[in-house]
Amino acid sequence: MDTANSLPILWIEKLVSVVKRWKNSGSLRDKNGYVERLFSLVQQMKYSYLEPDEITERFVNEMKRIVDAIVSLPLTEKQRRFVSYLGEEIEDLPRKLKLNPSEPFQVFRYRFVTITSVSKHPSLDLKVTRVRDRYGVERTVVTNVKDVKEGRNALIVLLPPKEFDGVWSEGMFVKFDVSQPSEVSVEDLRHLDAYFNLDSY
């Protein structure tokens, strides 16, 4: 497998690079070297040219253990949420490697949801929505879409958590009034490629 150009592995590398940047700047204190160890594992994985099952066996469980250790460090709320998201992405890596996505937007996790509540953001011209997916998991999505309504179905993409003046958003609406993959086209998703580089983190 061409692991050096695998989009799921490159995505994990980008996420870990954000954490490494925090460590290098001093905003994340890591006297035990967890971040460096995690970054080293990602580099080894990237240039391993192993098959997906071998990658899972050799790297994924160890990376998850290190992420759990990083979460136990003194972190800001932003760092804690981001590292937790990283852990979820590492956990999902074996599935993505077997899919072998060919476009950046295919790396993201998506959920079909129902909007369960809508409120005005306390200080910004945005809406704060609560959504529930088919597994019963609830999330908060902050949006500038004006016609979001309770009971409406939608597709969201799970992006690294982002704060909007005190309110944390766990994803972004991609398309409304959909409830299954056949109702979503490639063109509905392609604009998400811009989020692959994590420029705002």
For 57-93, the pLDDT digits (tens) are: 999 999 999 999 999 999 999 999 999 999 999 999 9
Delimiting residues of CATH 2.40.50.140 domain(s) in the chain: 106-197
10-residue mean pLDDT series, the chain (201 residues)? 97 98 96 97 98 97 98 96 98 96 96 98 97 97 96 97 97 97 96 90 76
Q: What is the 3-state secondary structure (H, E, C) of the chain?
A: CCHHHCHHHHHHHHHHHHHHHHHHHCCCCCCCCHHHHHHHHHHHHHCCCCCHHHHHHHHHHHHHHHHHHHHCCCCCHHHHHHHHHHHHHHHHHHHHHHHCCCCHHHHCEEEEEEEEEEEECCCCCCEEEEEEECCCCEEEEEECCCCCCCCCEEEEEECCCEEECCEEECCEEEEECCCCHHHCCHHHHHHHHHHHHCCCC
pLDDT at 199: 79
Please name which of 77, 102, 46 lies closest in space to residue 160, comparing C-alpha atoms. Answer: 77
How far apart CA 170 and CA 165 sit, in angstroms, is 14
At the fourth CATH level, the homologous superfamily of domain 106-197 is Nucleic acid-binding proteins (2.40.50.140)
- Residue 126 is predicted with a pLDDT of 98
Cβ-contact 157, 139 below 8 angstroms? no
Confidence (pTM): 0.95
pLDDT of residue 190: 95
The token duo for 170 is: 């766990």
8 A C-beta contact, residue 188 and residue 175: yes
Q: Which residue has the tokens 């709320």?
A: 77
Q: What is the pLDDT of residues 22-41, one digit of tens each?
A: 999 999 999 999 999 999 99
Question: In the CATH hierarchy, which fold is given to the domain comprising 3-102?
Answer: de novo design (two linked rop proteins) (1.20.1440)
Strands 127-133 and 138-143: antiparallel
Q: Where in the chain is the domain with CATH 1.20.1440?
A: 3-102
| pLDDT value for 116 | 98
pLDDT of residue 33: 97
For residue 78, with 0-12 CB atoms within 10 Å meaning exposed, 13-18 middle and 19 or more buried, which class applies?
Answer: middle
